[in-house]
Structure 1
Amino acid sequence: MRPLALVAGAVLIVWVLWDAFETILLPRRVPGSLRPSRFALRWLWGPWGRVSELIGSRPRREGFLAYYALLAILTLLILWAVSLVVGFAAMHWGAGSRLAGPGASEGFAADAYMSGTTFFTLGLGDLHPMSHAARLLTVIEAGTGFGFLAVVIAYVPVIYQAFSRRETRITMLDEWAGSPPSAAVLLRRCFESADPNVLSPLLKEWETACSEILESHLSYPILCYFRSQHDNQSWLGSLVTILDTCALVIVGVDGLDPFQARLTFAIARHALVDLSQTLALRPNAEGDARL
């Protein structure tokens, strides 16, 4: 028996499973930097973003950046799966699995092979453990692999449903605020109407939209990296446009009631602040004023 390998494998398994639980199932922001999901989500973004700066063509750069979210999800899932296989292999090796079967051999490589076939529920049967502890580990790993597959299957549709709801609102804003959206265009088109207060229902709708963005993007931060499907559209740009519009109405635009603008401004600001904290972004104090 190798106690150190046994403990290291158990720690790796618990660490990965807890990270998967926090990332997929726990609907709240989770602090902590030593997490596989943090590596896949943020640490890869740095080099990916720097490479994109070398692409001169804007459409090509946008297309390149659009692949990042999918790459991050695939990297995270692969990282989780490989870590779990290695963790269970270390526990098998540490517990002394005593593998039997045609061409059976001892060593970490054989335990890793058996761990992989068990985790992915291949059921080849060419190797099987003889010790009681290893058999128990095999059953636990098979259940873990089956549960991991089920969670992954449920995770991806949730991400794309939230993305679809967000993009619907952004596309509808295009006819109000232009492409790319701006507060000036939005206010001008409102005053083209016989009743400028048509803006209030739009801001009311975006009050709900900001709440949905806040909830979904805090629960699944990977959504922040999903780029819009159309040129000159951005969920962040749309959110900032709504903030700018509310700010202008609050400070005083003749003929517009500022009540709804205050409510929408509060939730939109709340969404941006919380998402900035989640992504560890700092405000740019040297940027030019937009208003």
Structure 2
Amino acid sequence: MVAALEVIGGLLLCLIIFYDLFQSVVLPRPAVNKFALVRFVLRRIWVGWRWVGSRMSSIARRETWLAAFGPVGVLTMFGLWGLALVLGYALLIDGLRPQIHPPPVNFGTSLYFSATTLVPLSYGDLVPIGEGARFVIFAESASGVILAALAITLLFSLYGSFQAREESVVTLDAIAGAPPSGVQLLENAAEHGMHEELVSTFDEWRKWAAMVL
């Protein structure tokens, strides 16, 4: 009975993570009313991160601290997905103990086997001998490769987007000052009659924000 519950629980957890991963990374456009487990966690982390930043007296330090949340959040997101997959597959492995040689002595051993398979760093001390266990190990190994590929792809994509942003920031300095100020941007546009430039500037940044989000 316990083994069956572990298999069901592990399968449900893996399916939830795969769905969250698909909606957040694979899907080319944001889904409406989607279930986003990692987004919920990141929002809670952001509350604490922002609270720490708001307590900093130095504006430069505060801005640096707040700006670091983006890349830290991306790494945290993939880390949480990885840990959740390790836990989900560990439940599946623990529920299939008789199909593994030697059988895991406890859940900690199943967790170890799952972690070394996802990375993958399997040392061969545990070997699946049943059809179900072999399929689970194969699926977890493939999941690790897919997760790593998605992480690398997303990081390169975000790097390209932020590099494009830096180029736009340099061009923005001419009318908004350095560092750019929204107030100065509006004042310069009004003073020099730069209505069209103002519209194009906002449109450019709107497109960049849509591309990143």
Asked if TM exceeds 0.5, the reply is yes
Shift of 1:199: 4.5
**Residues 34 and 92 (structure 1 numbering): CA distance in 2 closer, same or farther, change over 3 Å?**
same
SS at match of 2:138: helix
Paired amino acid for 2:121: L
Task: Tell me the CA shift for residue 32 of structure 1.
Answer: 4.6
1:44 is paired with a residue of what secondary structure? helix
Instruction: Output the CA distance in 2 between the equivalents of 1:73 and 1:36.
Output: 14
- Specify the alignment match of 1:73 in structure 2: 74
Q: 1:22 to 1:51 in 2, by over 3 A?
A: same
SS in 2 for 1:123: coil
1:53-89 deviation line (CA, Å, top 9, x unaligned): 1111111111211221122112111110010011011
1:121 maps onto 2:120 in alignment: yes
Pair 1:212 & 2:208 matched? yes
Amino acid at match of 1:168: E
Residue matched to 1:140: 139
Query: Whole-Å Cα distance in 2 between the matches of residues 205 and 58 of structure 1?
Result: 26
Return the alpha-carbon distance in structure 2 between the equivalents of residues 210 and 35 of structure 1.
Answer: 24
The change in CA–CA distance for 1:19 and 1:169 in structure 2 (over 3 A counts) is same
The correspondence for 2:190, drawn from 187, 202, 206, is 187
Instruction: Tell me which protein shows more helix as a share of its residues.
Output: 2
Q: Is the 8 A contact 2:4 2:95 kept in 1?
A: yes
Q: Distance in 1 between matches of 2:170 and 2:41?
A: 29
Structure 2 spans left out of the alignment, 5+ residues: none
Aligned CA-pair RMSD: 2.2
2:29 maps to a residue whose letter is R
Offset at 1:22?
1.0
Say which is worse superposed, 202-211 or 164-173, in terms of deviation: 202-211
Bigger Rg, which one: 1
> Aligned with 1:171: secondary structure?
helix
Equivalent position amino acid for 2:207 in 1: S
- TM-score, normalised via structure 2 length: 0.87
Output the CA distance in 2 between the equivalents of 1:115 and 1:55. 41
Shift of 1:153: 1.0
Task: Give the equivalent residue in structure 2 for 1:91.
Answer: 92
What's the counterpart of residue 199 of structure 2?
203
Q: Deviations over 1:66-113 (max 9, x none)?
A: 221122112111110010011011011113354325xx6422111111
Aligned-pair distance for 1:29? 2.1
TM-score (norm 1): 0.65
Q: Distance in 1 between matches of 2:174 and 2:140?
A: 53
- Name the structure 1 match of 2:57: 56
How far off is 1:208 after superposition? 4.1
Amino acid at match of 2:189: L
